[in-house]
Amino acid sequence: MHTFIKDSRIAVYDGLGFKLDSFATDYTGGLESKKLGRKKLEKDKERLHDLQRMMYATDRHSVLLIFQAMDAAGKDSTIRQVFSGMFPQACRVHSFKAPTRIELDHDYLWRSAKVLPERGTFAIFNRSYYEEVLVTRVHPEYILGQRIPGINSKDKINEEFWKQRLKAIADHEEHLARNGTIILKFFLNVSKDEQKVRFLRRIDVPEKNWKFNIGDLKERARWDDYQHAYEQAITHTAKPHAPWFVVPADNKWFMQAAVCDIIVGALEQLNLSYPNVGEKERQDLALGKRMLLDE
């Protein structure tokens, strides 16, 4: 049974009244140990692989999985753990860094729209168009670099600006959902204390040194601003057809188990099965078998 998809301590289907500080970062959902979490993850991964194959064969739905988080929350490791062994032809990961010059010459949804999943496939967004209401909200000077008509000073980047941008994202997701895209959005909710522990580990452990970026500490100094930005994003875009899951991230083993459980739970609701073949196809199967046996 996949319980986390409806767990009110994780799932947000309606953002009205959402408060991020009411969601714990160390909740483990009744899983009593890392060993049990790993066992659940492996079992759910097997089911996820089966469901992926059925969805690919049915060719009616697509799946868009969005991962957002503060630095060191564990996006990369979660994606690596949950989706290892997936059918690669039908599962693609897209990481969104700072926009390129060409991307800045388009609207902010363009670069993600190019790589939306086709029917039967998964797209995993490691960061996403939500950066346009998160990092840009904390650093509004980035908006000026987008050369939006009428937005020529920080004074123009006001609450009405963010309200319109969040509405555009919500409308975009509603359109995708109406056309068969299953949208699941994950905010990996790490505490500030745990982030500090992980940053120190990146400094102290030689094989992790490559992960450390001094710029991450500058963003850490804006922690409260980012928490506000995430709260606003979830408040305005959590909908039944595009829910957010505020997944506790202080224990990576639980976070990974919960993410996989939620995805499997959502796909189970589709009642997927392999397509039934018609009379003509059954005749072809019988003919093909005879031809092979007669070789």
Rounded Cα–Cα distance for residues 172 and 153 (Å): 27
Alpha helices in the chain (DSSP H): 34-58, 75-82, 101-104, 110-113, 135-138, 141-144, 159-178, 192-204, 214-220, 223-237, 252-268, 279-293
The backbone torsions φ and ψ at residue 171, rounded to the nearest 5 degrees and listed phi first, read -65, -40
pLDDT of residue 277: 83
pLDDT of residue 89: 87
pLDDT of residue 281: 87
pLDDT of residue 2: 76
pLDDT tens-digit readout, 256-293? 999 999 999 999 999 999 998 888 989 999 999 999 99
- Residue 113 structure tokens: 């729209």
Confidence of residue 3 (pLDDT cuts 50, 70, 90): confident
Cβ within 8 Å of residue 236, ≥6 positions away? 15, 163, 166, 167, 169, 170
Cβ within 8 Å of residue 22, ≥6 positions away? none
61-89 burial string, b = 16+ CB within 10 Å, else e?
bbbbbbbbbbbbbbbeebbebbbeebeee
> CA-based Rg of the chain, rounded to a whole angstrom?
21
Half-sphere exposure of 240 (CA within 13 A, CB side): 1
pLDDT tens-digit readout, 22-65? 999 999 999 989 999 999 999 999 999 999 999 999 999 999 99
pLDDT of residue 1: 65
135, 142 Cβ separation under 8 angstroms = yes
Rounded Cα–Cα distance for residues 41 and 258 (Å): 8
Q: Fold for domain 4-293?
A: Rossmann fold (3.40.50)
pLDDT tens-digit readout, 123-165? 999 999 999 999 999 999 999 999 999 999 999 999 999 999 9
pLDDT tens-digit readout, 186-236? 999 999 999 999 999 999 999 999 999 999 999 999 999 999 999 999 999
pLDDT tens-digit readout, 242-261? 999 999 999 999 999 999 99
- Residue 289 structure tokens: 């078998």
